[in-house]
Amino acid sequence: MAPKRYVLFRLWADSLGICAYPECCQELICNTEEDIIGHICHIVAKKPTGPRGDSNYPAERLDDYDNLILLCPTHHTIVDKNVEKYTIAKLKEMKSTHYTTIKQQLQTGSPWKLNISQIYYLNIPRLASLPYRDETYDSGNSSKCDRSRFSNNRRAGYDSRHST
């Protein structure tokens, strides 16, 4: 079973399309909707033999929002190869800290900078319609981002090029 559409919408929206790994800031949609490099990662693996697998974890909850985290390809590999360091609790804390940081910056009006043209490519319904693969939506393209590159105007959905 794959995650439901609303779970994918929420996961991408809550993360703002940025890797949840601390200090990473990797944009997971680089230039166009074809350049989606984000990995939708299971905190508790789908298979009991997978990274952080747990045969006692309810199968119907494996694709729930609380068991998924959005990471860049590099950090997905790192957390899955170092399960002793990146425990279930550590990944849940990482996800929570990422979302808390985003919410604080949005609420305080901290300036975020972003190439405004990228907002036109963030198409959540398009993301949800893509075939789900457990490990990746990867085009092979990557570019570093900086959370400080977002602007207040972007958050409000405002683009000065279209103002009257």
Is the C-alpha dihedral spanning 144, 133, 44, 84 positive or negative?
negative
17/145 Cα distance (integer angstroms): 11
> Alpha carbon of 127 to those of 6, 39, 49, 78, 105: distances in Å?
11, 12, 28, 24, 25
Angle between helices 5-15 and 88-108 (to 10 degrees): 60
Q: Is 71 exposed, middle or buried (0-12, 13-18, 19+ CB in 10 A)?
A: buried
Q: 30: pLDDT confidence band, cut at 50, 70 and 90? A: confident
pLDDT in tens, 57-83: 999 999 999 999 999 999 999 999 999
Between 137 and 58, the more confident residue is: 58
Q: Per-residue pLDDT for 1 more than 80?
A: no
Phi, psi of 71 (to 5 degrees): -130, 160
pLDDT in tens, 88-135: 999 999 999 999 988 888 787 655 555 555 555 555 555 555 555 444
Residue spans of the domains in the chain: they are 5-139
153/159 Cα distance (integer angstroms): 7
